[in-house]
Amino acid sequence: MSSSRAEPVRPRSAVGTGPAGERRWWRPDTLFARLLLLQVLVALALLLLFGLLVYVERNVAVARLVAERWAPTLREAAGWPGDLPEPKRPLLASDARPPLALRSDLGAPRLVALDDELQRQGVPVLDLAVARGAGGPMLWLQVRRPDGRAVWLGLHDAALLPAVPRRFVLALLLAVALLVGVSWVFTRRLTRPLEQLRARMQAHRPGEPVPEPMPLDGPSPEIAAIEAAYADMVQRLQRHERERALLLAGVSHDLRAPLARIRMAAGLLPESDEGRRWNETIVRNIEVADRLIGAFLDHVRAGELPLEQRVDVAAVARQLPATRPEGDLTVHAVGAALVAHSHPLLVERLIANLVDNAFRHGRSPVELHVAADGERVLIEVHDHGAGMPEQERERLLQAFARGDAARGTPGTGLGLAIVERIVARMGGRLDFERRAGVHVVRVELPAA
């Protein structure tokens, strides 16, 4: 028996090939994220290069000042003549290389400047090393004496230690923050027109007129050209679609008149066994042709009927068992499930085609579930057949496409194509799932 039991449809995660979800600007594969990352990386590289140059120049200047300050003490300690500063700076002296002293890189800009300035101040430096002392790291210099021998002289000066000034670090952080902010604003302003154009393209549904161009935020000539090309393409496609629909509707309508005359003529055949057999054959073929014409007209209406009404999908589903033999279909519908921007004939055709497809290519029992779930209206048709092969789903959604298993089954190959067209026009999503041995066709429509 057919029934309409009040059983809610539990929301399940959609699996299938529905329309792509909206891209978020913070994803790494978006144009906004890539442009922002590129700008920030380039600017950071330039900023770090500038900071490195400033840091090196600062250390070179400090090293020259330190060399000028220590040169008199070093000359006096090594035995070279010169004026001794007051007070005398403390130095450590050793004839041998200090233990655990590490050879310092004479190629470092700070040490090169120190060595150059000491040589200019009359201190002949032969080698440099760094060792740990009681007061912190100490710089040891091997200085040649007037008699030709060498002596190691150790000094401690905090100015020679490599350090980054706090003000420099603060300035660098402020520059980075300013850089990221400016890059963000610039990139967002650059990509916003593209995002607005994409949203308008995505919001446009098949069969609807192309909306008037809207002002974009700071559009460039390239963006305006893309928008104009898109609008022109949609208009040409719509013109071709209208011409095709008129041709299909006209041919289908004109074919029904001769079919009616053939049916009438078949009824005039003699009342014999052979005449009855011919009459049944003719009527059967006329019915097949009439169904094919009806499918053509449904396909045309799926793209032409205006979407100007609110439709209760649950009410349409509850009326469906009256059109089918008893015992074939079980309907589960709860209350009202309203969708906006729709048409009752399209909703009825959508549900009927899904159910017919389940009976024709699936296996009983067949169940129809309809319910509202927040901002969506869910339509699910369950059957116990083998279902649609995943690798053939895209092909079978095209007009006149039929699977290998359906070759011997009467049909037009337009059922799923009409469903896919209606769902696309209403801004919904069509999925195919397999749940615990049950084949499920799932449609999500935006709720009113």
Report percent pLDDT > 90 for the chain. 4
Which of 7-11, 257-261, 295-299, 415-419 bottoms out in mean pLDDT, i.e. has the lowest? Answer: 7-11
pLDDT at position 300, please?
Answer: 66
Q: How far apart are CA 218 and CA 397, in angstroms?
A: 40
> Dihedral angle at the C-alpha atoms of 424, 428, 434, 437, nearest 10 degrees?
-100
Other Cβ atoms less than 10 A from the Cβ of 243: the count is 10
**Highest mean predicted confidence (pLDDT) among 15-24, 180-189, 224-233, 321-330:** 180-189
Residue 326 pLDDT grade (very low, low, confident, very high; cuts 50, 70, 90): low
Q: Are 93 and 151 in contact (CB under 8 A)?
A: yes
What's the count of helices (H) and strands (E) in the chain, helices before strands?
Answer: 9, 13
pLDDT at position 57, please?
Answer: 85
Which of 59-73, 112-126, 137-151, 288-302 bottoms out in mean pLDDT, i.e. has the lowest? Answer: 288-302
Which of 45-54, 62-71, 157-166, 231-240 bottoms out in mean pLDDT, i.e. has the lowest? Answer: 157-166
Residue 370 pairs with which residues in a beta bridge? Answer: 333, 379
299, burial (CB in 10 Å: exposed 0-12, middle 13-18, buried 19+):
buried
pLDDT at position 304, please?
Answer: 66
357-373, pLDDT tens digit by residue? 888 888 888 889 998 88
Residue 372 pairs with which residues in a beta bridge? Answer: 377
178-191, pLDDT tens digit by residue? 888 888 888 777 77
Average pLDDT over residues 130-155: 84
Q: Round the average pLDDT of the chain to a whole number and report it.
A: 76
Q: Are 425 and 417 in contact (CB under 8 A)?
A: no
Q: Which residue has the higher pLDDT, 111 or 120?
A: 120
4-54, pLDDT tens digit by residue? 333 433 333 333 333 444 445 455 666 677 777 888 888 888 888 888 888
Which structure tokens are listed for 157?
Answer: 């000066």
pLDDT at position 165, please?
Answer: 67
Which structure tokens are listed for 21?
Answer: 């979800």
Residues of the chain with CATH 1.10.287: 204-304
Residue 263 pLDDT > 70: yes
List Cβ neighbours of 125 (8 Å cut-off, separation of 6 or more): 115, 118, 119, 141, 142, 143
Find where tokens 């066994």 sit: 273
Alpha helical stretches, state H, 139-272:
166-203, 221-266
Q: Which CATH number fits domain 204-304: 1.20.120, 1.10.287, 1.10.390, 3.30.310?
A: 1.10.287
**Highest mean predicted confidence (pLDDT) among 86-95, 150-159, 190-199:** 150-159
Residue 1 pLDDT > 50: no
pLDDT at position 384, please?
Answer: 83
pLDDT at position 366, please?
Answer: 87
Average pLDDT over residues 339-350: 86
Residues of the chain with CATH 3.30.565.10: 306-446
pLDDT at position 4, please?
Answer: 39
Residue 408 pLDDT grade (very low, low, confident, very high; cuts 50, 70, 90): very low
φ, ψ for residue 267, nearest 5 deg: -70, -15
Fold of 306-446: Heat Shock Protein 90 (3.30.565)
